C-alpha cells in the first residue's frame, strides 16, 4: 500500500521500430498485433482504477510523466479516455508538470494541439542526433529534417516547455558534430536538454567502436561549457535547463521522493515503505494480471536496507548540482578521500551554500569514481 504519490509515471510500450541500442521495454510494430493498443488502454485504465481505489494517487499530482516507448503514437482520443479515468482519482492543475515523451516520426500539429488541450504542458523529444548516418547506425526511424520539422511543429502547437534528448558517445561522433547539433537545437526556444552517453553491452556489435574514456571526457566537458554559455544550468549529470525549467518529475526520482508507475515494466518507489516495485515487463502478462486476474501487475518488490539507502543517497546527490552537505563526510576515510577529490578538482565547495560540496563538471563526467570514493 502506497501513501498517495504525487509523481505519476505511465509507460507506453509501443514504438515504430526497435532502436539498436534500446534497453527499455518497448515493442516495434513488427512485434505487435491488431488489438494490442486497445487492450493496453483498457488494462491501463484498470490499473489506474485499482491504484486509485487504494488511495495511492495524490489528489493534485505535482508531476505526470508519459514515457515509453513512444507515447506520442497514442491517438489523442485514447489518451483522453486514459486521462478521464485518471481524473476520477485526481485533479491535475496548471501547476502540474505534465510531460509527454515524443519521437519525431509521430508528431503532427493537430495531434499536439489536441494533447495540449488535454493538459499536457511539456514535451521531451528524442532527437538523439542531427546526422543522418549516425541516426541510421542507431536504428532510429527519423532523419535530421524530420527532427527539425517536428520541433517546429511542437512550438506551433503551443508547446512552450520543450526538452530535447541527444546522445553522445556515438561511434564516429566528433566535437564538431556535437557543436553543430547543440547550436541548431539551442536556436529553437527549448527550455531543457538531456544528453545521455550511449552505453552498450560488451557483446553489442557497436561496442568496440565506442569512444575511449579521454575522448568521452573531452566531449562531456565541451557540452558543459557550450550549454552554460547558452544560459542553461547544468543541474544534473546529463541534464541542462534554462532557469526555472528543471525537470520536476526527474528531480522527484533524484531526490528520493515517492513515485508511482503504471504500465508494463514501470517502476515505483515508496519513500515511506523504503521499497521499490516493478511491474511485469511483458505487455500480455501485465494486461492478463489486470484484466483476467484483476490484480496489481507487480513483478517484484524490494525493501531497501540501510546500506542500500546510504549508497543510493550518495549516488543521487553526486548526480545533482546541489551536491551534498558537509556533515555527510563522517568517517576518516571519507574525509581523507574528499581532500584528494578537492585537490583533483572533482568536487568543490558549493558556490551558493558554504555548507555543501558538489561535483565539478569534470566530477560529473567521472561520477563512478566519486561514488566509489565517497560512499
List residues binding ligand SF4 (CB under 6 A).
15, 18-19, 22, 24, 26, 68-70, 103, 126
The least CB distance from residue 111 to ligand SF4, in Å, is 17
CA 240 to mean position of chain CA atoms: 13
From CA 276, how far away is CA 180, in angstroms rounded? 40
**Among residues 315, 311, 326, 321, which one has the least CA distance to residue 359?**
321
Minimum Å distance from CB 82 to ligand SF4? Answer: 19
Measured distance CA(277)–CA(205) in Å, rounded: 32
CB of 328 to ligand SF4, least distance (A): 35
Cβ closest to ligand SF4, residue 105 vs residue 239: 105
Distance in Å, CB of 70 to ligand SF4, minimum: 5
Of 125 and 247, which CB lies nearer to ligand SF4 in the complex structure? 125
CA dihedral 224, 229, 235, 237 (to 10 degrees): -10
Question: With respect to ligand SF4, which residue has the nearer C-beta, 70 or 338?
Answer: 70
**SS3 state at 349:** strand
- Closer CB to ligand SF4, 28 or 52, in the complex: 28
Yes or no: say if 163 and 124 are a contact pair by the CB < 8 Å rule: yes
Using Cβ positions, the residue closest to ligand SF4 within the complex turns out to be: 22
The nearer residue to ligand SF4, 26 or 96, going by C-beta atoms, is: 26
Closer CB to ligand SF4, 26 or 258, in the complex: 26
Element (H, E) at 241: strand 239-241
Residue among 18 and 230 whose Cβ is closer to ligand SF4: 18
Q: What is the C-alpha separation between 71 and 278, in angstroms, rounded?
A: 19
How near is the Cβ of 182 to ligand SF4 at its closest, in Å? 20
Cβ–Cβ < 8 Å for 196, 168: yes
**Residue 88 grid cell:** 476520477
User: Which C-beta is closer to ligand SF4: that of 247 or that of 320?
Assistant: 247
- Least CB distance to ligand SF4 at residue 286 (A): 16
> Which residues, at least 6 apart from 374, have a Cβ–Cβ distance to it below 8 Å?
314, 318, 329, 334, 337, 338, 341
Distances in Å between the Cα of 261 and the Cα atoms of 34, 81, 257 are 25, 18, 13
Q: Which residue pairs, CB below 8 angstroms and at least 24 apart, start in 352-356?
A: 353/322, 355/325, 355/326, 355/327, 356/322, 356/323, 356/324, 356/325, 356/326
**Shortest distance (Å) from residue 335 CB to ligand SF4:** 42
Q: Are 24 and 69 in contact (CB under 8 A)?
A: yes
Nearer to ligand SF4, 31 or 278 (CB): 31
- In Å, the largest CA–CA distance within the chain is 62
Give min distance, CB of 26 to ligand SF4, in A. Answer: 4
CB of 284 to ligand SF4, least distance (A): 19
Amino acid at each position: 500500500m502506497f501513501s498517495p504519490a504525487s509523481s505519476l509515471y505511465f509507460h507506453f510500450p509501443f514504438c515504430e521500430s526497435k532502436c539498436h541500442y534500446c534497453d527499455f521495454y518497448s515493442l516495434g510494430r513488427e512485434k505487435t498485433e491488431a488489438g494490442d493498443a486497445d487492450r493496453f488502454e483498457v488494462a491501463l485504465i484498470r490499473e489506474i482504477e485499482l491504484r486509485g481505489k487504494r488511495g495511492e494517487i495524490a489528489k493534485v499530482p505535482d508531476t505526470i510523466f508519459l514515457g515509453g516507448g513512444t507515447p506520442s503514437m497514442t491517438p489523442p482520443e485514447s489518451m483522453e479516455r486514459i486521462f478521464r479515468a485518471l481524473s476520477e482519482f485526481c485533479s491535475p492543475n496548471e501547476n502540474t508538470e505534465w510531460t509527454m515523451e515524443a519521437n519525431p516520426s509521430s508528431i503532427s500539429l493537430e495531434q499536439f494541439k489536441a494533447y495540449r488541450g488535454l493538459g499536457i504542458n511539456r514535451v521531451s523529444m528524442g532527437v538523439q542526433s542531427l546526422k543522418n548516418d549516425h541516426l541510421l547506425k542507431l536504428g532510429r526511424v527519423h532523419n535530421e529534417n524530420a527532427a527539425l520539422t517536428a520541433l517546429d511543429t511542437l512550438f506551433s502547437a503551443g508547446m512552450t516547455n520543450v526538452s530535447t534528448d541527444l546522445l553522445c558517445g556515438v561511434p564516429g561522433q566528433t566535437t564538431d558534430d556535437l557543436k553543430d547539433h547543440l547550436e541548431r537545437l539551442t536556436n529553437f526556444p527549448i527550455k531543457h536538454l538531456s544528453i545521455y552517453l550511449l552505453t552498450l553491452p560488451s557483446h553489442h556489435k557497436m561496442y568496440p567502436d565506442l569512444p575511449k574514456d579521454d575522448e568521452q571526457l573531452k566531449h562531456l566537458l565541451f557540452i558543459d561549457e557550450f550549454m552554460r554559455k547558452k544560459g542553461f544550468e547544468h543541474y544534473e549529470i546529463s541534464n541542462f535547463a534554462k532557469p526555472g525549467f528543471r525537470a520536476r518529475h526527474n528531480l522527484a526520482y533524484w531526490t528520493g521522493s515517492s513515485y508511482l508507475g503504471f504500465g508494463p515494466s514501470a517502476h515505483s518507489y515508496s519513500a515511506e515503505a523504503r521499497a521499490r516495485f516493478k511491474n511485469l515487463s511483458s505487455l500480455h502478462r501485465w494486461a492478463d494480471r489486470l484484466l483476467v486476474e484483476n490484480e496489481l501487475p507487480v513483478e517484484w518488490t524490494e525493501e531497501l536496507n540501510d546500506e542500500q539507502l546510504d549508497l543510493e543517497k550518495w549516488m543521487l546527490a553526486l548526480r545533482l548540482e546541489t551536491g551534498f552537505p558537509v556533515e555527510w563526510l563522517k568517517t576518516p576515510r571519507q574525509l581523507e578521500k574528499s581532500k584528494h577529490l578537492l585537490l583533483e578538482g572533482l568536487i568543490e565547495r558549493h558556490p551558493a551554500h558554504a555548507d555543501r560540496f558538489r561535483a565539478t563538471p569534470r566530477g560529473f563526467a567521472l561520477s563512478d569514481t566519486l561514488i566509489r570514493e565517497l560512499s
